[in-house]
C-alpha cells in the first residue's frame, strides 16, 4: 500500500457522496462535509465509524463530501474505498444495523410473470435507482455493463449489491442485474458480489453459446450455496447481441433451467454484422428508423429459439428517448414478430411501451365475444361454432382468453 495513494469512490453530486481514504500511519480520523449536516451530520459520522470498525481500519483518514446520500449509498461508497485499499470485512461490531452481509431472502420470481417493460438503470448512479420501483416497470435491470465506466465497475457492483439489500426501496418490480460478460474478470466479480443481494435474475450480455449460460449457471449455484440461498432461485436472461449468438440461439435458450427469457440487443448486433444505415432517409427499403431491417432475421430467430424452449422472447431498447412515435412503431414490430416485451432506458418510455403491447379496446371486445360465443356453444351442446365467418376452435379461444387476461392486468 503506497503512502501517497488515495482511494476514491462516488460522486460529489445530488443524492451521492464522494469518499476518499488516505492511508497513513496516524490513528484513523474522519472528516465529513455535508449539505445536510444539520440533520444528518451525526448519522454520517456514526455510519462512517461503523464501517471503519467493520473493516478493522485503525489508521489513515476517511474524507466524505456528501450531498444528501442515503445511508446505504454512503456505506457503499465507504465500503468501496476500504476494499480498494485492501481492507477485508471482519465483523459488524456496533449495535447499529448495517444492511450489508445480511442477504435479503427474496422469494424467487414467477418464471412466467409478465416482462413487458424492463427498465435499465445505470448501476453507479444512486439518484436514478432510488425511485426506480415507482415507475411501473415489470423488471428493473441495474446495469454494471455498458452504462458504467471501466474505472467505476468496482464501486458500482458494491453499490448495486447494497441497493438490492435495501429491501424497503422495492416491492413491485422484478429485480435483475446486467453483469459484464463472463469472459472478463469483471463479469465473474460481478456475479460473486451481486448474489449476496439476491436479485431475481441476472442478464448475461454478449451470450454466444450454451457454454456461456452454463458457466453462469454453475457460478450461481456455487454462490447460492455459499450465501445460503435456495439453489436455482436466481433466473437467467441471456442477451443475444452478436451474429454468433443469433446462430446459437436455440441452444442458448435451452442451456439452463434458470433461463426465463431470451433478450435481443440490437445496437451491438447491428455493429457486429457491419450493417450500414441508408445514407438518405427512406432509401434502402427501410420504413423509418424503427424498422431496423438488418435485424429482422435475428429477431425472428430469437423468438423461435425462445418459444421453442418455452421461455419469453424480449426485444431490445429503442434508444431515442425523444421519439415516442418511433418507440411505439418499434413496439408494434416487436409484437408482430412475437416478442413479449421491450427494454427502455428512461421511465418516460414505460407508458408508451405498455400501451403498444396491451391489447386495444377492439381486440378485447372481439376476444370477449369469441369466448362468449364459445361458452354458449358448450352450454347448448353444439359442436363447432363460427364467429364472423371464422371457425372457433380451442387455440383461438385460448388466445382470446389471453388477450382478456392481459387487458385486465393492464387496467
Partner 1 sequence: MEWTTNTLGRKIPVDIGGKTCAPFQGAFIDRRKGGPKALSPERTSQAAPLRQKPDKRVADWDDLFDRLDLRDGASISFHHHLRNGDKIVNEVVARLAARGLRDLTIVPTALFPVHDALLPYIREGVVTKIEGSMNGAIGAACSRGEIRRTCVLRSHGGRQRAIQEGDISIDVAFIAAPAADPYGNANGLFGPSACGPLGYAKPDSEYAGKVVVITDNLVPYPCAPWSIHGANVDYVLKVESIGDSSKIVSGTTQLTRSPTQLRIAQLAARFIEATGLMKDGFSFQAGAGGISLAATVFLAERMRRAGVKASFAHGGATSVLVDLLEEGLLGSIVDLQSFDLDAVRSCARNPRHIESDPYASYGPHARGCVANMLDVALMGATEIDIGFNVNVVTHSDGVLLHGIGGHSDACASAGCTIITAPSFRKRIPIIREQVTTLTCPGEVIDVLITERGIAVNPKREDLLWKAKKADLPCKEISQLMREVLTITGTPASPRFTDRPVALIEWRDGSIIDTVWLLEGE
Residue numbers of the site for partner 1 (CB under 8 A)?
14-15, 35-36, 38-43, 67-71, 130-131, 134-135, 168-169, 346-348
CB of 39 or CB of 372, closer to partner 1: 39
* CA 316/CA 322 separation, integer angstroms: 17
Q: How far is the CB of 126 from partner 1 (least distance, A)?
A: 11
CB of 75 or CB of 161, closer to partner 1: 75
Q: Could you identify the residue written with the cell 442451456?
A: 255
CB of 97 or CB of 276, closer to partner 1: 97
Strands (E), 38-158: 59-66, 117-122, 139-143
* CA 201/CA 306 separation, integer angstroms: 17
> Who contacts 41 (Cβ-Cβ below 8 Å, separation ≥6)?
32, 34
Q: What is the DSSP code (8-state) at residue 9?
A: E
Q: How far is the CB of 131 from partner 1 (least distance, A)?
A: 5
Residue from 325, 332, 211, 337 nearest 264 by CA: 337
CB of 74 or CB of 392, closer to partner 1: 74
Grid cell of 225 as nine digits: 450455496
Determine the distance from the C-alpha atom of residue 384 to the mean position of all C-alpha atoms in its chain, rounded to a whole number. Answer: 46
What stretch of H or E contains 236?
A: strand 235-240
* CA 277/CA 1 separation, integer angstroms: 51
Q: Are strands 341-344 and 117-122 parallel, antiparallel or unpaired?
A: parallel
Q: How far is the CB of 321 from partner 1 (least distance, A)?
A: 9
Give ∠ CA 92-95-101 in degrees, rounded to 5.
Answer: 35
CB of 69 or CB of 403, closer to partner 1: 69
Q: How far is the CB of 320 from partner 1 (least distance, A)?
A: 14
DSSP three-state, residue 353: helix
CB of 135 or CB of 374, closer to partner 1: 135
Q: How far is the CB of 134 from partner 1 (least distance, A)?
A: 5
Q: How far is the CB of 166 from partner 1 (least distance, A)?
A: 8
CB of 68 or CB of 410, closer to partner 1: 68
Q: How far is the CB of 172 from partner 1 (least distance, A)?
A: 11
| Class of residue 379 by CB neighbours under 10 A (exposed 0-12, middle 13-18, buried 19+) | exposed
Amino acid at each position: 500500500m503506497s503512502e501517497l495513494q488515495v482511494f476514491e469512490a462516488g460522486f460529489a453530486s445530488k443524492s451521492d457522496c464522494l469518499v476518499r481514504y488516505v492511508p497513513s500511519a496516524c490513528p484513523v480520523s474522519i472528516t465529513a462535509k455535508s449539505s445536510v449536516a444539520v440533520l444528518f451530520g451525526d448519522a454520517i459520522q456514526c455510519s462512517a465509524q461503523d464501517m471503519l470498525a467493520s473493516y478493522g481500519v485503525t489508521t489513515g483518514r476517511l474524507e466524505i463530501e456528501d450531498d444528501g446520500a442515503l445511508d446505504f449509498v454512503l456505506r457503499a461508497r465507504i465500503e468501496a474505498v476500504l476494499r480498494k485499499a485492501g481492507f477485508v470485512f471482519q465483523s459488524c461490531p456496533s449495535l447499529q444495523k448495517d444492511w450489508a452481509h445480511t442477504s435479503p431472502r427474496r422469494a424467487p420470481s414467477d418464471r412466467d410473470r409478465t416482462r413487458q417493460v424492463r427498465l435499465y438503470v445505470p448501476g453507479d448512479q444512486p439518484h436514478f435507482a432510488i425511485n426506480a420501483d415507482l415507475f411501473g416497470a415489470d423488471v428493473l435491470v441495474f446495469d454494471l455493463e455498458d452504462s458504467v465506466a471501466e474505472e467505476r465497475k468496482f464501486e458500482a457492483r458494491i453499490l448495486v449489491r447494497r441497493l438490492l439489500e435495501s429491501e424497503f426501496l422495492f416491492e413491485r418490480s422484478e429485480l435483475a442485474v446486467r453483469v459484464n460478460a463472463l469472459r472478463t474478470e469483471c463479469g465473474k466479480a460481478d456475479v460473486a458480489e451481486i448474489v449476496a443481494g439476491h436479485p431475481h435474475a441476472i442478464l448475461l450480455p454478449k451470450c454466444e453459446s450454451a457454454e456461456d449460460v452454463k458457466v453462469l449457471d454453475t457460478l450461481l449455484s456455487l454462490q447460492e450455496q455459499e450465501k445460503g440461498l435456495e439453489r436455482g432461485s436466481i433466473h437467467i436472461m441471456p442477451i443475444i447481441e452478436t451474429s454468433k449468438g443469433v446462430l446459437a440461439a436455440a441452444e442458448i435458450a435451452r442451456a439452463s433451467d434458470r433461463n426465463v427469457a431470451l433478450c435481443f440487443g440490437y445496437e451491438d448486433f447491428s455493429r457486429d454484422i457491419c450493417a450500414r444505415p441508408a445514407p438518405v432517409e427512406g432509401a434502402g427499403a427501410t420504413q423509418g428508423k424503427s424498422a431496423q431491417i438488418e435485424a429482422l432475421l435475428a429477431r425472428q430467430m430469437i423468438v423461435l429459439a425462445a418459444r421453442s424452449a418455452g421461455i419469453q422472447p424480449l426485444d431490445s431498447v429503442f434508444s431515442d428517448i425523444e421519439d415516442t412515435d418511433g418507440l411505439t412503431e418499434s413496439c408494434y414490430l416487436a409484437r408482430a414478430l412475437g416478442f413479449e416485451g421491450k427494454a427502455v432506458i428512461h421511465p418516460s418510455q414505460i407508458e408508451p411501451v405498455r400501451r403498444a403491447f396491451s391489447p386495444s379496446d377492439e381486440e378485447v371486445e372481439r376476444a370477449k365475444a369469441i369466448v362468449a360465443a364459445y361458452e354458449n356453444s358448450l352450454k347448448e351442446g353444439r359442436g363447432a361454432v363460427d364467429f364472423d365467418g371464422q371457425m372457433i376452435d380451442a387455440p383461438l379461444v385460448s388466445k382470446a382468453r389471453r388477450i382478456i387476461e392481459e387487458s385486465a392486468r393492464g387496467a
